[in-house]
Structure 1
Amino acid sequence: MLIGILAGLMTGALWGLAFIAPRAVQPFTALDISVIRYLIFGVVSAGLMVIPKFRPTGLSPRMLLMGMVLGAVGTFGYFLAISYAVLLAGAVLPPLITGTAPVLLAITANFRERSMPWGRLALPLGLIAAGLGVVNIASLQEAPSGEVGSLLIGVALSVFALFMWIAYGMANAVVMRAPDAPDALRWTGVQGIGCGLLAFLLLPFISSGPAMLDLASPATQHFFLWALMMGVVTSWFGTYGWVVASERLPMALSAQLIVAETVFGLAYGLAFEQRLPTVPEAVGGLLQLVGVVVAVAIFARRRIITPEPGTP
C-alpha cells in the first residue's frame, strides 16, 4: 500500500507540471508542446520495447487497442485541454477545477467497489470539497471584468479535462485491478504508443514548425528541453506511477491521491507567477491536503485491522 501511495504522489508532482508548461514555452503554442511531448513519449515507449520486459506480450488485440486509446485520449487529450485552459484562465484556477476529480472519482469508485463505508469517507471528502470550494469561489470573484470571456472558456476547458481525467482514472483502475491485469511496465508502454501515434498524426497541424528547425535559437532550445522533460519524466514516469497506484490501491483511495496534482500544480503556478498564495488559496490547499492525509490514515488502519487474504 505504501508503494502505491508514494507512486500516486509522485505522479501528482510530475503531472502538476502540465499547469505551467504551456506558459513556460511561449511563444510556442500549447499544441506544439503537446504534440512534441507525446511524440517523445511514444518514441521512448517504443524504444524501451527492445527490452523483453517492456514488450506488451500476452495482451489481446482488444487490450492493446484499449491501452492505446486510453493513452491518446486520457493523457494527450487531457493535457491539450488543460494547456489551453491555463493560457485562458491562468495557472491557478484550472488545477483547482480539475481538483474536483478526487471527490467525483472517489464517490464513483466507492459506488462500484464499496471498499469503505460512506460514513467514514464523509470527513476526508468533505475537507477536499470544502478546500476546492473556497478557492474556486474566491478566484471567480476576483477575476477582472474584461477577462470574463477568456476565463469562462478556460473554465469550460478545465471541466472538459476533468471529465476526461475521471473517465481515464476509472478505466485504468478497472484494467489494473482485474484478475488478468497487464504488467505495469507493459501497460505504460502501450499507452505511450497510443500517445505517440496521435502526436504523429497531428504533426502537420503544429503552428511553429519552421521555428522548431532553428536549433540555434535559445527559445527553441528552451522549448525542446521542456518537451524532453515532459515527454520522458512527466509522461513516462508519471504514467507508470499512476499505473502502479491503480494496481495497488482501492479506487476510492487512489482517486483522492489525484489531489496531489492539484496541490503541486497550484504550487508550480504560484512559483511561475512569482507570488505567494492568497488567503483563500492557502486555506483551500490546506483543507485538501488534510483531507488526503485523513483518507490515507483511514485506509491504512483498515488494511492493518482486516488484512487481505493470504497476508500474514
Structure 2
Amino acid sequence: MATSVEHIGASSSAGATARGVLAGAGAGALWGLVFLAPELAAGFGPLQLSIGRYLCYGAASVALIAPRLRAVLAALKRREWLSLAWLALTGNIVYYIFLAAAVQSGGAALTSLVMGFLPVLVTVIGSRDHGAVPLTRLLPSLLLCVAGGVCIGWQALAAPSSAATADRLLGLGYAVCALASWTTFAVANVRCLFRTRLSVHEWNLLTGLLTGGLAMLLVPISVFMDDWSRPAAEWLVLAGTSTGVALLASILGNALWNRASRLLPLTLVGQMILFETLFALLYAFAWEGRLPTALEVGAFGLITAGVVSCLSAHRRPSPV
C-alpha cells in the first residue's frame, strides 16, 4: 500500500510539473509579443507605450474582477496590498518602460539576449530555498543557458545595424535595468503566490488593477516629456497595439505564468522564462522577414537542452 501511495504521489507530481511547464511555455509565447509592440508603435516613447498597455490592462482587470470585487477586497490584508503595489511597479511599469527603451535604442535581438540571462539569475536565487534542487545539479542547465545567450549575443552584436554604437550601448543599459526589474518581480511574485489565499486569476487581475492606477499617475509626466500632438491614425495604432498586448500578454500570459509559479519550484520557474526569449526572437525573425542564422539556431538548441536538463535535475527517482 505504501508503494502504491508513493507511486500515485510521484505521478501526481509529474503531472503537476508537466502542466506547469506547458503553462510556462504558453506564457512565454504570449510575452514574446511585447518585444514587437515598440516596433509596431515606433513613433511613441517608452512612457506612452507603458501607459497605453497598462491602462488597457487595468480596464480589462476591473471588468473581469467586478463580479467578485467585494469578496476579493474583503479577503485582502495590508501586506498583500503592499505586495501587489510592489509587483505592479517592478514587474509592469518600471520593467516595460526599460524594455521599450531598450528595444527602440538597441533593437529587439539585443534586448532578447540580455533578458535571456533572466532564467540564470532566478534559478540561482531559487537554489537557496529550503528543499530546492542543489545548484551543483542545476549547473549543466545554467551553462547551456549561458552558452545559448552568448550565441545570441554574438549574433546580435556582430550583425550589421543602422543604430549608432552609442544607441546600442544605451539600449544595453536599458535592457540590464529591465533584467534587474523583472528578476525582482519574478522572485517576489512566486513568494507572494504561496502566501496568499487568492486564486492565480484573482491575483493577476488585482495586479492589473493596481498597475492601471499607477499608469494613470504617469500621464502628467508623459504629457510634459513626450509629443502628444499626433495624427489620429497613429493613436489608433497605439490603441490597437496596447489593447492586444494587454489582453494577450498581461491578462492571459500573466495568468499562465502565475499558474506555472504555483505548480513549479522557483529553480524550474526561472527556466520557463527562456520560452519568452525564444518566442521573442521568432517574432523578430518574422518581423524582419528572415530566417535564423546558424548561431541563432545553435542558441535555440542550447536553450532547449538547458530546459530539458533542468527538468531532468528536478525529476525524482521512481519508487521501487
TM-score exceeds 0.5: yes
Matches within 5 A, 1:13-28: 13-28=29-44
Change over 3 Å in CA distance of 1:305–1:20 after alignment to 2 = same
What SS does structure 1 have at the residue aligned with 2:179? Answer: helix
Say which SS state the counterpart of residue 27 (structure 1) adopts.
coil
Cα shift readout 1:55-86 (whole Å, capped 9, x = no counterpart): 34412022112112201221221111111101
Question: What is the aligned-residue identity percentage?
Answer: 30
Structure 1 residue 194: deviation in Å?
1.9
Aligned to 2:166: 149
1:249 aligns with 2:264: yes
SS at match of 2:306: helix
- CA–CA separation in structure 2 for the residues paired with 1:292 and 1:3: 15
What amino acid maps onto 1:108 in structure 2? I
Residue 278 of structure 1 pairs with residue 297 of structure 2 = no
The 3 A distance-change label for structure 1 pair 56 and 298 is: farther
Provide the C-alpha distance between the structure 2 equivalents of 1:80 and 1:10, rounded to a whole number of angstroms: 23
Cα distance in structure 2, aligned partners of 1:77 and 1:43: 19
The alignment yields a C-alpha RMSD, in angstroms, of 2.1
Letter of the 1:111 counterpart? R
Tell me if 1:5 matches 2:34: no
Q: Is the 8 A contact 1:68 1:191 kept in 2?
A: yes
Structure 2 gap segments, 5+ residues each: 1-15
C-alpha distance in 2 between matches for 1:269 and 1:57:
44
- Determine if contact 1:56/1:190 at 8 Å carries over to the other structure: no
Equivalent-residue separation in structure 2 for 1:4 and 1:160 (angstroms): 28
Deviates more, 1:249-258 or 1:48-57: 48-57
**CA-CA distance at 1:145 after TM superposition:** 9.7
Please point out which of 303, 308, 319 is paired with 1:293: 308
Partner of 1:200: 216
Q: Tell me whether 1:189 sits opposite 2:202 in the alignment.
A: no
1:33-61 deviation per Cα after TM superposition (whole angstroms, max 9, x unaligned): 21011001111112222222783441202
Distance 2:277 2:180 in 1: 15
* Cα shift readout 1:199-226 (whole Å, capped 9, x = no counterpart): 11112315354437x2xx3x43332211
Equivalent-residue separation in structure 1 for 2:248 and 2:74 (angstroms): 24
Give TM-score scaled by structure 2 length.
0.87
| Cα distance in 1, alignment partners of residues 251 and 291 from structure 2 | 31
2-structure distance, mates of 1:116, 1:128: 17
- Counterpart for residue 44 of structure 1: 60
Residue 45 to residue 145, structure 1, CA distance change in 2 (3 Å): closer
1:107-256 equivalences in 2 (<5 Å): 107-142=124-159, 147-178=164-195, 180-204=196-220, 205-206=222-223, 207-211=226-230, 214=232, 217=233, 219-256=234-271
- Describe the shift of the 1:146–1:67 C-alpha distance in structure 2 as closer, same or farther (beyond 3 A): closer
**Counterpart-to-counterpart distance in 1, 2:19 and 2:49:** 31
Q: CA deviation at 1:156?
A: 0.7
Question: Residue 204 of structure 2 contacts residue 258 of structure 2 at CA under 8 Å; is this kept in 1?
Answer: yes
Deviation of residue 97 (structure 1)? 0.8
1:63 aligns with 2:86: no
Distance 1:266 1:273 in 2: 10
What is aligned with 1:34? 50
Residue 309 of structure 1 corresponds to none
Aligned length: 299
Paired with 2:285 and 2:217, the residues of 1 have a C-alpha distance of 34
Segments of structure 1 that go 5 or more residues without pairing to the other structure are 307-312
1:264, 1:279 → 2: CA distance?
17
Letter in 2 for 1:37: R
2:92 pairs with one of 52, 75, 92: 75
Q: Tell me: CA distance 1:57–1:13, structure 2 relative to 1, closer, same or farther (3 Å).
A: farther
Question: Which segments of structure 1 move beyond 6 Å, counting only runs of 4 or more?
Answer: none
